[in-house]
Amino acid sequence: MAAEERDPEDPVSKHPQPEFPQQDQSHPGWTGPMDPPPDHGEESYRGSGLLEGRKTVITGGDSGIGRAVALAFAREGADVLFTFLPAEEDEAAATTRLVTEAGRSAVPIACDIREEEQCRLLVERAVTEFGRIDILVNNAAYQMSQPDGIQAITTEQFDRVMRTNLYGMFWLSKMALPHIPAGGCIINTASVQAYKPSPHLLDYATTKGAIVTFTQGLAQMLASDGIRVNAVAPGPVWTPLIPATMPDTTTLGKQAPLGRPAQPAEMAPAYVFLASPQASYITAEIVNATGGTPLP
């Protein structure tokens, strides 16, 4: 086999490597200005019917990992309801297009999961649209780097991180459960930060550690009901959250053994597997996708 045929499968050279151009955006960040552009699997993901007919809810589905998961789920045969913040309407339109081009229903919902009532309305809308929820993906998250230490973390920031990353996951899991049948599942997005916290992301890392614990505890609680609960723990991933919240975008992922950040498209297959019948005996697990960084 010629070298040029092997190179695209080399995990080191498959996607762009640091250093990236320095780039800064206001929160929540947008895909369009990113350099290099993130890969959500638009040209590469091929479905095989693993989620045919499934009804799915994904928070933070407008961009990044959420968009890649929405695309992959749709190409596997699932209908997708996803959330976005009002400022992310253009991003949501791009995800909607990808899902509908795959021949599946796309339902974009502007929703701030920091608010319990909005979470309740979201679940009600999903049930109205689909009749049930087969797969809930708690993916939406907020982070803000604070290199100056704990003194720089305001109560406002701490509250936003906690409510987005933990409260929203708790409320949606609790509210969705009456509508998740046996055979359904919940997939949460954790992080390498849960195990190897970066000091400048103290509050964010704290929530990711809690997500691991929540996932493993809820999985045991729901096992007898036939509902599986798992999580994916990504390492550095090239998403709009990075230029919107990190002071240095040039060396992202350079510290990983693979020497680069992941693209969102590289995370989506883990979610597809955990949602699929092939993972029927897998619950309370954390799938680590860290580019080689060892985790417990």
Cis peptide preceding 52, ω within 30 of 0:
no
Q: Is there a contact between 137 and 124 (Cβ–Cβ < 8 Å)?
A: no
Residue 33 · residue 257 · CB < 8 Å: no
Q: Which pLDDT score, from 0 to 100, does residue 247 have?
A: 87
CA distance 115 to 223: 28
* pLDDT in the model for residue 257: 96
Residue 40 pLDDT more than 50?
yes
Residue 20: both structure tokens together: 């990236």
Confidence of residue 5 (pLDDT cuts 50, 70, 90): low
pLDDT at 6: 45
Kindly report, residue by residue over 145-172, the tens digit of the pLDDT: 999 999 999 999 999 999 999 999 999 9
Tens of pLDDT, residues 51-94:
999 999 999 999 999 999 999 999 999 999 999 999 999 999 99
pLDDT tens for 187-215 read 999 999 999 999 999 999 999 999 999 99
What does residue 187 show for φ and ψ, rounded to 5 degrees? Answer: -125, 125
* Segment 268-292, tens digit of pLDDT: 999 999 999 999 999 999 999 999 9
Asked if 250 and 21 touch (Cβ cutoff 8 Å), the reply is yes
Q: How confident is the model at residue 27 (pLDDT cuts 50, 70, 90)?
A: confident
Residue 2: is its pLDDT beyond 60? no
What is residue 28's predicted lDDT score, i.e. its pLDDT?
86
Give the residue numbers annotated as catalytic, written as ranges: 204
Q: What pLDDT band is residue 184 in, cutting at 50, 70 and 90?
A: very high
How would residue 9 be classed by pLDDT, with cut points 50, 70 and 90? confident
Q: Domains, the chain, ranges and CATH?
A: 51-289 (3.40.50.720)
Q: What is the pLDDT of residues 239-274, one digit of tens each?
A: 999 999 888 999 999 999 999 999 999 999 999 999
Asked if 136 and 179 touch (Cβ cutoff 8 Å), the reply is no
Residue 94: burial class (beta carbons within 10 Å; 0-12, 13-18, 19+): middle
pLDDT of residue 296: 78
What are the pLDDT digits (tens) for 95-135? 999 999 999 999 999 999 999 999 999 999 999 999 999 99
**Distance (Å, rounded) from C-alpha 40 to C-alpha 44?**
9
Omega within 30 of 0 (cis) for the link into 11: no
Residue 268 CB-half CA count within 13 A: 27
Query: Is 8's pLDDT higher than 70?
Result: no
Residue 173 to residue 277: CA distance in whole angstroms: 20
